[in-house]
Amino acid sequence: MLLKQKYKINLKNNVLLFFLFCLASFSGFSQTTTAAIDSTTIKIGEQILYKIEVEVDTTQLVVFPEGQSFAPLEMVNSFDPDTTKNGSIYQIIKTYGLTQFDSGKYTIPRQKIIIGDKTLFTDSMKVEVNMIEVDTTKQGLYDIKPIISVDQVSGDWWINLLIILLVLAILAAILYWFLWREKPLSEEEKIALLPPYKRAKLALKNLENSSYLQNEEIKTYYSELTLVVKKYLDEKVYEHALESTTDELIDRLNLLREGNQIDLDKKTIKNIQDILKRADLVKFAKSEPDIALAEIDRNTIDSEIDHVKEALPEPTEQEKMLDQKYKEEQERKKKKRKVIISVCAGLVVIIGLFIGFSVKYGFNYVKDTISNNPSLELLEGKWVYSQYGVPPIMISTPQVLARVESQVPVEMKDKIDVTTFGYESKLSDFGVVLSTSIFKEQGENKIELPQVSESNISQFEAQGFTDILVKREQFITPNAAEGLKTFGTFNMPSEDGGNSVSGEYVLLHFTTENVLQQIVITWKAKDQYAKEIADRILNSVELKLTE
């Protein structure tokens, strides 16, 4: 019995010693976390040093808060940890620089520190931010400056414009140089513009000055001589003279003389006939008349061309007018041809530019750019990043949201304050509305965001919207504010009473204590640019909550 009692006492002592040992062991490897700020009151823009001190075992991994987790205060600095070692214990101090640019009373939320596989939290802390006092006796007061217009930020559109202008300038230079420029005439072109008689006389003069006879090129000499006389006769007497044989041409000249259509004497026709037959013998029978006879034949042709010119009747006034009209018509055809070539070249370049930009940017984008698609203009215009309401909602929009009069029932005006801002584009059927509701008397019932979302959907139905598809999911802003996102599609009645118009919508709802904030975005379905605008707006939403 005594042994048994002694055994119980020893067992009790052993259990107590084991408990104390475990407690000592746990205390030796416990983690402690403390947080402190260097001041609880600052002025706008001043910086608070927020320190987190952790004591851990050397084997523990510590993860401090990162990013903007101190909202509504803003983190402007994150200093490197300061570490000291005491035996097997590390003392780590992490310091942050925090600030706020709006006056008021704020609460720094609890911060999460991960040590190994454990999560610890610091205590929340209150900070008061005061306005900077202005000594009006030393600092003068001035009127509010008027609103000034701000130039739009230029994108890279000017590069595309420069490319287009450069291509058009090159095209215009090419067309001017090769088509529209008054080019200096070559010697052959100047001769071609001479009247037939002067051309024939000039050709005979050049034949006289040639070296055919000195080089005994009799065949070439007579070929040139017959070409001169036949070409003159072809243009002024008989239009088929060039392709006619000698006998056919002489028969035609005699026929014209006998018909009193041309006053040629027989001697002139006989001289032309003799020279043409002699030329045929030289060209086809290898006859070789002496050089003196060849010179006489050239002089004879020169004289007979004069006789033919004298025998030709003077053109009547009607013939002169017809000839003038013919020249004017030829000039018009020539100018018309230049215009057609220029227009076709311009169309080819424009089509080429369109295809090139379509390959680079996409067909729809180029088409919508040319047609000034209103949604595309909103997307690519200068966006505005601003905050609206109190507590403020920071958001980026394609246009500044204008204050809209809130429709609050009379019986609710003493219980709720509502501020509303909005923008609506009639051309693209795109709209965004932002509102903040502050309940003056906070009741026992908490604001339930799903119920608020259902209320918005009911308002859509009251406005005549049909086939409303509703989807809901959690929405988290970049600064970690959580809310409810409601989105989907609907059909809304058209203003002209025609077929309904398909659209899409997004509702964002946030709440904190007695504040309800909501954003409504609507746009026409299948408008890819409006969808991009909505996504860009949603990605920019941040809340700045104050107490």
How far apart (Å, rounded) are the C-alpha atoms in residues 226 and 247? 14
Is the pLDDT at 334 greater than 90? The verdict is: no
Spatial distance between the Cα atoms of 181 and 174, rounded to a whole number of angstroms? 10
Report the DSSP beta bridge partners of residue 200. none
Same fold yes or no, 20-130 and 382-543: no
**Which pLDDT tens digit goes with each residue over 64-98?**
887 777 878 888 888 888 888 877 788 889 999 99
Nearest to 207 by CA among 188, 187, 222: 222
DSSP of 465-518, one letter per residue? -BS---EEEEEE-TT--EEEEEEEEEEE--TTSSS-EEEEEEEEEEEETTEEEE
Per-residue buried b or exposed e for 84-123, using 16+ beta carbons within 10 Å of the residue's own CB: eeeeebbebebbbebbbeeebebebbebebebeeeebebe
Q: Looking at the predicted structure, is the pLDDT value of residue 2 above 50?
A: no
Residue 391 preceded by cis peptide, ω within 30: yes
For the segment 209-238, the average pLDDT, to the nearest whole number, is 90
Handedness of CA 34, 37, 38, 40 (dihedral sign): negative
Classify 130 as helix, strand or coil: strand
DSSP 3-state assignment of 432? Answer: strand
What is the domain partition of the chain in residue ranges?
20-130, 194-313, 382-543
Fold of 20-130: Immunoglobulin-like (2.60.40)
385: β partners: 396
Percent above pLDDT 90 for the chain? 17
pLDDT tens profile 228-248: 999 989 988 888 888 999 999
- Residues in the chain, how many? 547
Which residue in this structure is represented by tokens 């600064």?
479
Residue range 140-164: average pLDDT?
Answer: 66
Give 142 or 387, the one with higher predicted confidence.
Answer: 387
Mean pLDDT over 410-433 rounds to: 80
What token pair was written down for 168? 């058009």
The whole-number pLDDT of residue 152 equals 53
382-543 is a CATH 3.40.1000.10 domain: yes
Q: What is the mean pLDDT of the chain?
A: 80
Cα 218 to Cα 282: distance, rounded to the nearest angstrom: 7
* pLDDT single digits (tens) 166-178: 888 888 888 888 7
> Stretch 456-464: mean pLDDT, rounded?
87
d(Cα 298, Cα 226) in Å, to the nearest integer? Answer: 9
Helix (DSSP H) and strand (DSSP E) numbers for the chain: 13, 21
* Residue 376: burial class (beta carbons within 10 Å; 0-12, 13-18, 19+): buried
**Confidence tier at 5 by pLDDT (50, 70, 90):** very low
| pLDDT recorded at residue 86 | 79
Q: Which two tokens stand for residue 132?
A: 């900077």
Beta-carbon contacts of residue 114 (< 8 Å; ≥ 6 apart): 61, 62, 63, 120
